[in-house]
Amino acid sequence: MPWYRVYKTYRGGKSDYDYIEVPNRTPLEAVQDDAEYWAENTSGGHNYGWTVYWKKVRKPPKKWIQDKIYNLKDDIVQYYKAIESIKIKIEKLKKMLN
């Protein structure tokens, strides 16, 4: 599946970027929709006067991939903690039934 570098620039000159993967044979309009969705759902949102761009790339840079792996592993830890907390709450509620 192809990768795209999506980035946005703000009126004040600030910019932000990320990489997204889209299914093969995705029409350009769908890539644009994905890029705009990313822009809307990242810091700054749609009311801050940004312009979004996208460019097809072979793959994201190694540093981005390493950071993404680290962040996903951290997500797993956070989800695990949340699941464990919910399990404890369920057990407490079950005890209240007795």
pLDDT tens, position by position, 34-53: 888 888 887 766 556 788 88
Work out the pLDDT band at 87, boundaries 50, 70, 90: very high
Work out the pLDDT band at 96, boundaries 50, 70, 90: very high
pLDDT at 31 (0 to 100): 85
- Give the closest residue to 78 by CA, choosing from 88, 67, 89, 70: 70
Q: Give all strands (DSSP E) within 1-98, no chain letters.
A: 3-10, 15-21, 50-57
pLDDT at 44 (0 to 100): 67
Mean pLDDT for the stretch of residues 19-35: 84
**CA dihedral in degrees (77, 40, 50, 35; nearest 10)?**
90
Cβ neighbours of 75 (radius 10 Å) = 10
Please check the confidence at residue 4 and state whether its pLDDT lies above 80.
yes
Residues of the chain above pLDDT 70, percent: 95
pLDDT at 84 (0 to 100): 97
